[in-house]
């Protein structure tokens, strides 16, 4: 991990798929449970895609743009109908905590992790 540029951590120099492990609002975790998960895909060019594992290969997902600012420890994710404004806490290279930024209209927190292997060992 390059300490001075967490945006490269988001996209690994090309693209990277992150799974939304937690979405918390008012103390309740609304993240999908079971086999279907929501994903955030970050591309080096500032594009991002919000998509579920169920939709991969059949739908394009929700396309947006993001700006990551390491110095301010913030990320702004803009979709056509909504904007998420988060403060960033890097827990490790495998866990990022996103919390509503000061004066943000974002009403939830998220924890994202790199997409783990979702295939059962029994297959």
**Which pLDDT belongs to residue 116?**
85
Residue extents of the structural domains in the chain: 6-114
Residue 114 has pLDDT above 80, yes or no: yes
Region of 9 (left: φ > 0; alpha: ψ -120 to 50; beta: rest) is alpha
pTM of the entire structure?
0.86
Q: How many CA atoms lie within 13 A of 31 on its CB side?
A: 21
Distance CA 75, CA 81 (A): 17
Residue 113 has pLDDT above 50, yes or no: yes
Query: Could you tell me the two tokens for 27?
Result: 């103390």
Helix, strand, coil percent content, the chain, rounded in steps of 5: 5, 50, 45
Q: What is the pLDDT of residues 16-29, one digit of tens each?
A: 999 999 999 999 99
C-beta separation of 58 from 50 below 8 A: no
* CATH class of segment(s) 6-114: mainly beta
């Amino acid at each position: 991990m390059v300490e001075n540029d967490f945006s490269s951590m988001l996209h690994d120099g090309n693209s990277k798929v992150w799974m939304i492990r937690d979405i918390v609002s008012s103390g309740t975790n609304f993240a999908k449970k079971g086999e279907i998960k929501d994903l955030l895909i970050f591309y080096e060019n500032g594009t991002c895609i919000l998509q579920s594992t169920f939709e991969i290969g059949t739908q394009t997902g929700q396309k947006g743009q993001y700006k990551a600012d390491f110095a301010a420890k913030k990320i702004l994710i803009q979709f056509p109908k909504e904007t998420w404004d988060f403060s960033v806490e890097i827990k490790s290279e495998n866990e990022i905590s996103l919390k509503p930024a000061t004066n943000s209209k974002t009403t939830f927190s998220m924890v994202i992790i790199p997409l783990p292997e979702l295939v059962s060992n029994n297959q």
